[in-house]
């Protein structure tokens, strides 16, 4: 079995080659570019190269300038000569794409700490942001949680502006079309004079002037605040935010702050990086983070939908493991919601500052469907079952994290100040954490497992948000999975579970769209490029996970006996391999749309299993839903 002895599941989480490239660049900064691991990471980079040169941010994608510049430079630092045919070819592709000055802010910082780009031309990330109070429009808590965990360590790095000087032969002037050391804007200004982009560019220049001429005690105090924040977020976490980018920036920042390589803080930070590595034969690759709570919750849902009993050892161990991971301490989210009791679940092994709405919803559904959300020993007078305290807390936390627009986001409430996307360092397309249809529908589906359905005011507001965000073609965009297939699937099963009439026009438009994009093989597939070009929605190589999503959505809409569903089910049956799994090399998970995509190695297993189980239930007998007797209030106040 794939299940670990303690009850959890975790598949590999695969990103693009920026992970291996940034690892090599970091090791070079630390003076460790000669290590065997660096050579192996270089070998992996070479394997992932596009046939015509350059690197993409997902399999089959076009050359990506940021991914390619980092990969080229990493290979050069790992000992690959610029005269090699594959290096010359990659260089040519990078130059055709506009050269290294076209990279985003985060790539430029990597080039800057190795002396290949001036800090003066990088976006300012001043630690003085730590002074800004939470009530201001711009402050670190007005950013998405993942951006906050990146920006605070990066501000320490930026304040010190470290450089490791390398020999000229390890430079990359060949990747620039012009002199990279001449004065450049951090990002291009707009042609119109009075825009938010130009406003923030002017602010960037003021900050840089202040760094030279302003009083030094202010910067010193800001560094202390950022340092304290970063070190505090080591607690109960596998690195700041438990994700790769802030782990790297933490290591650089600790180096800047004078922490020795054998200090407890540096040992801790380097261990988090080492834990993400996968060494195989002569290659090394890194994961962006771990996904055990997510994989376990989805596996539990798949087993429960497949009628696996709650007392089955696999189910029992999984539920016990998940309940042990409940968050019971305040986190960043609580600063804007001080009266809300901690609850919920995170994504990784340890990340107590950042429970997220998506994982919490999926865990609660898994616990409900397996029967583990209820206290079997204390049925009420009506014969219904009591909800156990962790589930009660999780539901309350979800309910109170609803945004003002009626939807739900990933980590926080109302992180939707669109103006902040114009800040020069916001070019990673992930500055905000707005409501999205897929998470909103998942929360609605979760509440439905506990009898909270259409007619409850906050569910109704969620349904209204989903209705407003439907694409004119009938589909919904997917924020956390690729893409319109993911969003449309989740909306359909969420609304059906929530008790919406599935004959409504918006539902029938979604059904028509899913049938329209079904491919000749009977399956469905969608490329990551549909984020860049919405006309590609629902088109791409067929994959098991995306086929499963489309099937589940159609089944929820009452189409279980349709020809489209029968053909889709047959596709899954025909493509299942001898091990019971499916093959899926494509990336169907989304990190940051247009920037970073993911391949969850277990998506090819538990999503097809769920779809087939739903098909069996829809064409046979449905399992009974456990009853509950918790009296939810008709509404809960929104506190800011």
Write out the DSSP string of 367-430: HHHTTTTEETT---TTS-BEEPHHHHHHHHHHHHT--TTS---SSSS-B--GGGGGSGGGTTS-
Q: Are residues 124 and 257 in the same domain?
A: yes
| 221 found inside a domain | yes
The predicted pLDDT at position 383 comes to 56
Instruction: State the total domains in the chain.
Output: 3
Q: Are residues 65 and 161 in the same domain?
A: no
- Contact call for residues 367 and 395 (beta carbons, < 8 A): no
Cα 569 from Cα 565, distance rounded (Å): 6
The predicted pLDDT at position 426 comes to 87
pLDDT reading at 374 higher than 70: yes
Local confidence band at 376 (pLDDT 50, 70, 90 cut-offs): confident
| 496 found inside a domain | yes
Q: Are residues 264 and 160 in the same domain?
A: yes
Local confidence band at 378 (pLDDT 50, 70, 90 cut-offs): low
- Contact call for residues 417 and 135 (beta carbons, < 8 A): no
Q: Alpha-carbon Rg of the chain, whole angstroms?
A: 25
- Contact call for residues 285 and 244 (beta carbons, < 8 A): no
| 176 found inside a domain | no
Q: Are residues 6 and 82 in the same domain?
A: yes
Joined together, the tokens standing for residue 384 give 């219904």
pLDDT reading at 56 higher than 70: yes
Q: Are residues 135 and 270 in the same domain?
A: yes
pLDDT reading at 625 higher than 50: no
Which helix (H) or strand (E) segment holds residue 500: the answer is none
pLDDT reading at 635 higher than 70: no
> pLDDT tens digit string along 318-345?
999 999 999 999 999 999 999 999 999 9
Joined together, the tokens standing for residue 512 give 């028509």
SS (H, E, C) 265-303: HHHHHHHHHHHCEEEECCEEEECCCCCHHHHHHHHHHHH
Joined together, the tokens standing for residue 486 give 């993911």
Cα 166 from Cα 171, distance rounded (Å): 7
pLDDT reading at 538 higher than 70: yes
The predicted pLDDT at position 609 comes to 95
| 336 found inside a domain | no
Q: Taking residues 540-547, what's their average pLDDT? A: 98
The predicted pLDDT at position 126 comes to 96
Structural domain including 201 reads 115-170+182-232+244-279
| 216 found inside a domain | yes
Catalytic residue, from 16, 64, 358, 412: name it: 358
Q: Considering 74, 103, 132, which residue would you say is the last residue of a domain?
A: 103
pLDDT reading at 55 higher than 80: yes
> Which is more confidently placed, 119 or 1?
119
Q: Are residues 486 and 588 in the same domain?
A: yes
Joined together, the tokens standing for residue 185 give 């804007």
Distances (CA, A) of 392 to 87, 299, 507, 595: 57, 22, 31, 37
- Contact call for residues 477 and 487 (beta carbons, < 8 A): yes
Q: Domain of 72: which CATH number?
A: 1.50.10.20
The predicted pLDDT at position 1 comes to 65
Q: Collapsing DSSP states into helix, strand and coil, what is residue 559?
A: coil
Report yes or no on whether pTM surpasses 0.85.
Answer: yes
| 94 found inside a domain | yes
| 508 found inside a domain | yes
- Contact call for residues 540 and 525 (beta carbons, < 8 A): yes
Sign, CA dihedral 482-484-487-493, equals negative
Q: Are residues 585 and 502 in the same domain?
A: yes
> Which is more confidently placed, 629 or 228?
228
pLDDT reading at 629 higher than 70: no
Q: Are residues 581 and 486 in the same domain?
A: yes
Cα 382 from Cα 278, distance rounded (Å): 53
pLDDT reading at 496 higher than 80: yes
Mean pLDDT for all residues in the chain = 93
Q: Are residues 93 and 128 in the same domain?
A: no
Q: Are residues 133 and 155 in the same domain?
A: yes
Which helix (H) or strand (E) segment holds residue 467: the answer is helix 457-468
Local confidence band at 627 (pLDDT 50, 70, 90 cut-offs): very low
Lowest model confidence (mean pLDDT) among 59-73, 370-384, 443-457, 566-580: 370-384
Give the rounded distance of the alpha carbon of 526 from its chain centre: 18
Active site residue 358: yes
Q: Are residues 80 and 157 in the same domain?
A: no
| 437 found inside a domain | no
Q: Considering 61, 81, 103, which residue would you say is the last residue of a domain?
A: 103
How close are the terminal C-alpha atoms of the chain, in Å? 46
The predicted pLDDT at position 384 comes to 64
Residues in the chain: 640
- Contact call for residues 236 and 268 (beta carbons, < 8 A): no
Local confidence band at 628 (pLDDT 50, 70, 90 cut-offs): very low
> pLDDT tens digit string along 182-235?
878 888 888 888 898 999 989 989 999 989 998 999 999 999 999 999 999 999
Q: Are residues 139 and 14 in the same domain?
A: no
pLDDT reading at 624 higher than 60: no
The predicted pLDDT at position 52 comes to 86
Joined together, the tokens standing for residue 538 give 């629902």
> Which is more confidently placed, 575 or 378?
575
């Amino acid at each position: 079995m794939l299940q670990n002895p303690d009850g959890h599941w975790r598949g590999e989480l695969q990103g693009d080659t920026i992970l291996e490239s940034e690892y090599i660049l970091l090791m070079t900064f630390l003076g460790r570019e000669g290590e065997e691991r660096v050579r192996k990471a270089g070998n992996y980079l070479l394997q992932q190269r596009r046939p015509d040169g350059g690197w993409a941010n997902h399999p089959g994608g076009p050359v990506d300038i940021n991914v390619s510049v980092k990969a080229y430079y990493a290979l050069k630092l790992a000992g690959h000569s610029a005269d090699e045919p594959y290096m010359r070819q990659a260089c040519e592709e990078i130059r055709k794409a506009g050269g290294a000055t076209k990279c985003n802010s985060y790539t430029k910082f990597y080039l800057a700490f190795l002396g290949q780009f001036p800090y003066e031309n990088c976006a300012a990330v001043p630690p003085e942001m730590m002074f800004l109070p939470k009530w201001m429009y711009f402050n670190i808590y007005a950013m998405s949680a993942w951006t906050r965990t990146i920006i605070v360590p990066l501000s320490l790095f930026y304040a010190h502006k470290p450089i490791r000087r390398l020999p000229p032969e390890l430079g990359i002037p060949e990747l620039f079309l012009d002199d990279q050391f001449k004065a450049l804007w951090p990002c291009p200004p707009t042609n119109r004079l009075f825009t938010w982009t130009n406003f923030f560019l002017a602010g960037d220049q003021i900050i840089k002037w202040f760094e030279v001429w302003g009083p030094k005690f202010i910067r010193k105090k800001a560094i202390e605040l950022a340092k304290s924040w970063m070190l505090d977020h080591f607690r109960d976490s596998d690195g700041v935010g438990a994700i790769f980018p802030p782990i790297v920036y933490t290591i650089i920042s600790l180096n800047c702050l004078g922490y020795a390589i054998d200090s407890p803080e540096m040992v801790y930070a380097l261990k988090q990086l080492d834990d993400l590595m996968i060494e195989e034969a002569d290659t090394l690759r890194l994961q962006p983070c771990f996904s055990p709570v997510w994989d376990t919750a989805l596996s539990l849902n798949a087993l429960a939908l497949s009628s696996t009993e709650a007392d089955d050892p696999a189910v029992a161990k999984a539920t016990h493991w998940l309940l042990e991971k409940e968050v019971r301490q305040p986190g960043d989210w609580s600063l804007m919601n001080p009266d809300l009791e901690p609850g919920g679940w995170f994504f990784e092994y340890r990340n107590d500052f950042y429970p997220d709405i998506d994982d919490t919803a999926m865990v609660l559904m898994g616990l409900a469907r397996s029967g583990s959300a209820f206290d079997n020993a204390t049925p009420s007078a009506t014969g219904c079952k009591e909800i156990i305290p962790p589930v009660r807390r999780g539901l309350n936390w979800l309910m109170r994290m609803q945004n003002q627009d009626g939807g739900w986001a990933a980590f926080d409430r109302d992180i939707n100040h669109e103006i902040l996307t114009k800040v020069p360092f916001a070019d990673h397309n992930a500055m905000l954490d707005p409501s999205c249809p897929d998470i909103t529908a998942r929360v609605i589906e979760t509440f439905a497992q506990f009898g909270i359905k259409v007619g409850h005011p906050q569910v109704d507001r969620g349904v209204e948000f989903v209705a407003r965000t439907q694409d004119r073609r009938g589909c919904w965009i997917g924020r956390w999975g690729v893409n319109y297939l993911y969003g449309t699937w989740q909306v359909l099963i969420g609304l059906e579970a929530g008790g919406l009439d599935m004959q409504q026009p918006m539902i029938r438009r979604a059904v028509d769209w899913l049938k329209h994009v079904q491919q000749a093989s009977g399956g469905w597939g969608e490329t990551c490029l549909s984020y860049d070009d919405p006309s590609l929605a629902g088109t791409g190589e067929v994959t098991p996970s995306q086929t499963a999503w489309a099937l589940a959505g159609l089944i929820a809409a009452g189409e279980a006996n349709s020809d489209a569903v029968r053909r889709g089910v047959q596709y899954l049956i025909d493509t299942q391999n001898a091990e019971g799994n499916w093959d899926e090399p494509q990336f169907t998970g989304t990190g940051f749309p247009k920037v970073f995509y993911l391949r969850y190695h277990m998506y090819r297993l538990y999503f097809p299993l769920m779809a087939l189980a739903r098909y069996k239930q829809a064409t046979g007998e449905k399992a009974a839903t456990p009853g509950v007797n918790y009296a939810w209030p008709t509404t809960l106040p929104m506190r800011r």
